Structure formats: structure tokens, C-alpha cells
A and B are shown apart, each in its own frame.
Chain A
């Protein structure tokens, strides 16, 4: 190792430790009694009691359920709608295709969460305020996914397509048996992006929900930690970790897949 490499290693580790410090400190306090939250002591006793304390002080079980339903429903509908739309754009010929595709791509620019006021009004007319469907509906057609999947579908060899059609496969069979299996990596990549995006989404759910029955974790957590009723930081930190826990664990287990999908997400 040259002197340069040693310096780079030292600098890299310093930056990494600095970078992980806020999270590490939150983890540390979450596993220690409240008495230690204001002064760091390596020898402080460990405890798990902050987690159940947070769990009973707010309806986190319900928030978890809401979030899980929310991300599952959004992803399922996005995949179905996106698959059909992507196939039509990739492999069918029809008048107005270019214009429609451009209209779809507009969503990359004007994301649903920008149009808060009008979308809120629409949801009130539809009677969907304060419901999980109301949170998810604006996101159920993802222009980004349609774009991504169309690119993938365009790469499917036309010979495969022709062979299936000659054998008399219907369009639906063709999509299910040929296109979907070949596009599996795209589905996985988008799945990770969609789940983490909607698990983390905050502003729109904050506006559209006003009761425990629909509120997702992010909104529940913000209300819990803003309540200012003398809740200990160690308990708030435990709640914070709890709400990001599934994503964090998923990320640590499937780091490579996560990094690769996020990279795809950026290369629009």
C-alpha cells in the first residue's frame, strides 16, 4: 500500500464514520434507557423496552398494516397497468402513438404530489379522502415504469414474438408467456423502487388522511414524535427505527439489488 492509499483509507473511514454517526447514535439511544439519552456512555446498560413503549403509545400496528396494504396495492396495480401500456407502446401499431407516449411522459415532470390542491379536491368529489385507496390512486399509473418496461419490451427479439403468434397465442398469452418472463429484472428493479418510494412518501398522505384507519407509518411517526407530550427521545428513536426497519433490513440483505435498481431509477 502506498502512502496515498493509506491516506485514502483513513479519510474514507473518517467520512464513513461521520456519515453513519447520526443513524448509529439514534440506534444507540433506542437500545438504552431514557436516562442516557442526554449523555453518551459506552457502558450504559442495554434495554429493549423502548420498542414496546413506542408500540403501545401510538397505534403503530395499524400504521404498519396501512403502509403494507398501501405499498402492495400501489405496486400490484402499477405492474398490471404498466405492463399493458408498455406492451401497447412497444409492440402495437396504432394512430396517435407518439402523442400518447409524450402525454404519458409528462408525468416525469409534473409528479402527482405537486398537484396537491386539485388532487385533494378530486378525492373529495370521489369520496376517497381519508382512505388507503385515496392515498394510492394518483400513483397507480407510473410513467416511469411504463417508460422503463417499454424499453425492456423493445429488446425482446421479434422472432420469439412471431413464433408465439404463429402458434396461435393470443396477445394476453403472448404477454404472459414471452414478455413478462423476459422482463423479470425490470419488474424486480421497479418493485424495489416503488415500495421504498411509497413506504417513505409523506406530504400527500399527510394531506389526504385524518384518522388512524388510513394513516401510513410516515404520517403516524410524524404525529407521534411531534406530540410534544414528554415522550422520551429514546422512545421516539425506537419508533423511528421501527418504521424504517423493514426497508433497512431489506436493504442490508439485498444491497446489490437495491443499489442497481436505484441506479436504473435515475437513468430515465
Chain B
């Protein structure tokens, strides 16, 4: 073998071993495990074919988790992105105290999601949390936003929006800075209104960034759900149970590892499709330039 090849392998080996042990091999094992039963006591695991998948399709909690995840994504993605754009436009413009604004918007991004969850649980506390204190000023009665089935999912979604918007803001800030000022000057000389400039110049120019952020935001909506563990444990009555939390519950509270593997396969498929989408989008972004 050539010397360079040997050097290359020696340099790659440690990283490849770690990646193979904790990513490639377990990913394949997860897929295999989804075709086997969970070993229980004296009964060892045996091949069951598509049984786990049949069970999943018949499992109302699985479908509820998928629906919840969809609603969660539909709330968090557009809202956090829209706010991110507004924040970026504000911070970029001629606003007094820009440094404070930027800090206020970005700080939640740095906090651990578990800490964020604590802050918001306190905020939501029925009766004496800040939200109910403010409602009290207007003579409105106390309410349990996290403990009510119809509001809980939106209450946890709000937390994600709070945490993520400032993060997406910095991508929009970078994108806004790439718009040539002469373009906007020219439009202004032609008598274009602010709205027209935003609609016809800014928005199209930041479109690639918008696509890029949207894929990342969707991935986060599937994966970044620590606060649900802390705030609601999927409750009340599965109202905030979403796919990743359901995998955790099945795998580590019910110890049904085969079914957890089956659910994990669904999650891997979703993440792969999103990653594929990302590659396609980034490819297209190159063409914009």
C-alpha cells in the first residue's frame, strides 16, 4: 500500500471508529431490531416480520404523536422565522439601542432548553405566574395553559419560538447585509415605497436564506424537544406527546425496545428526507449566486 494511504487511514481511523460505533452500526441495528420482538423475561427476542409496523399503524398514540408533531412544526416554524425576520430588520435599521435589541433577541438561544423550560413553567403557573398576574389585572380568571389539553401544545410551542427566533435572526442579519445598498438607493430614486422595496428587493434576495432556515427549523421541530420532558411529560392525556418524546417513553419507560426501534426508523426516515431536501435547496442556492 502507498505510504500516503496508510497515513490517511491512520488519521481517519479514530474518528471513523467512533462514528461507526455510535452511528452507522446502531442505525442498521435499529432497522434490524424493528423486525424482531422485544425480549421479555424468559421469552427471548424472535423474528416477527412487519408486526411492529402493523402495530404502529394501528396505534392511536403514534398517530396522535405524529399529528401533534405536525401542529407543533406548523406553529413553531413560520412563527419563529417570521419573528426572526422582523427582528433582523429592526436590528439592522436605524433604531436607537440596537445593541440592546440584539442582545434581548439572541439571549434565549444561549440558555439550556431545560432552563428555558423552568423559566416558562414559572411564567405559566396557574394563579400566580406572570401571565395570570397580568390577566388578573384585567379581571380575567386564572387558567392552566400547560394542564389543559386544548392549549398545552401551543404553550410548549411558544417556548420553542422564544428560544429559536433569535437564532434564526442572525442568519437573516447576515443575508440582509449581502443586499447591495445601491439596489435599494436606485429603487428609492425611482420612487418605490418601503413596502415595495421589501416585497420586490429584500424578500427575493433573502429567499435562499429563508429556504435554508426553514429546513433547519423543521429538523429542530422534530429533534429539539427537551422542554416537553420538563414541562408536560407529553401530557395532559398525550396532548403534547410528539414523536421523539414517544420514542423515549416507549424505549425507556415501557422498555419496549423493539417498538421504540420501529418508531426510531420513522424518525430516521423523516430526518433523512429533510436532509435530502436541504441538499436540494443548497444546490439551488448555488445557482442563485
Contact = CB atoms under 8 A, between A and B. Distances in A.
Interface of A: 1, 4-5, 8-9, 11-13, 15-17, 19-23, 25-26, 29, 37-40, 80-82, 84-85, 87-89, 92-95, 97, 100, 103-104, 106-122, 137-138, 140-141, 143, 146, 171, 196, 199-200, 202-203, 206-207, 217-218, 221-222, 225-226, 233, 236-237, 240-241, 243-244, 247-248, 251-252, 255, 258-259, 262-263, 266-267
A108 B14 contact: no
A112 B9 contact: no
Contacts of B19: 103-104, 107, 141, 143
A1 B224 CA distance: 42
B239 interface: no
22 contacts: A8-B90, A22-B119, A81-B14, A81-B18, A94-B5, A94-B8, A94-B9, A95-B5, A106-B24, A110-B23, A111-B223, A115-B30, A116-B251, A120-B251, A138-B23, A202-B114, A203-B248, A233-B122, A240-B118, A243-B115, A248-B111, A266-B171
B15 A119 contact: no
Interface in B183-212: 194, 212
Contact of B123 (A22, A88, A113, A218): A22
Nearest to B123: A22
Contact of B114 (A16, A40, A221, A255): A221
Contact of B33 (A109, A118, A200, A248): A118
A140 B33 contact: no
Given A109-B272, A111-B223, A143-B19, A244 B111 contact: yes
Nearest to A87: B11
Contacts of A259: 106, 170
B97 A13 contact: yes
B24 A103 contact: yes
A207 B16 contact: no
Contacts of B229: 202-203, 206, 222
Interface centre among A22, A100, A121, A222 (most CB of B within 10 A): A22
Interface in B246-269: 247-248, 251-252, 257, 260-261, 264, 267-268
A110 B12 contact: no
B248 A17 contact: no
Interface in B13-35: 14-16, 18-19, 21-27, 29-30, 33
Interface string B224-258: 00100110000000000000100110011000010
Contacts of B280: none
B226 A202 contact: yes
Contacts of A84: 11-12, 14-15
Contact of B223 (A114, A196, A207): A114
Secondary structure of the B side of the interface? helix
B272 to A, nearest CB: 6
A211 B167 CA distance: 33
A131 to B, nearest CB: 15
A186 B97 CA distance: 30
B85 to A, nearest CB: 12
A109 B223 CA distance: 11
B147 to A, nearest CB: 14
Nearest to A40: B133
Contacts of B118: 26, 221, 225, 236-237, 240
Contacts of A97: 8
Contact of A112 (B11, B22, B102, B216): B22
A119 B115 contact: no
Contacts of B138: none
Contacts of A243: 112, 115
A19 B104 contact: yes
B47 interface: no
Given A22-B119, A221-B118, A263-B170, A202 B113 contact: yes
Complex A-B, nearest 7 residue pairs according to Cβ-Cβ distance, in ascending order: A118-B26, A38-B128, A141-B18, A200-B112, A138-B22, A16-B104, A84-B11
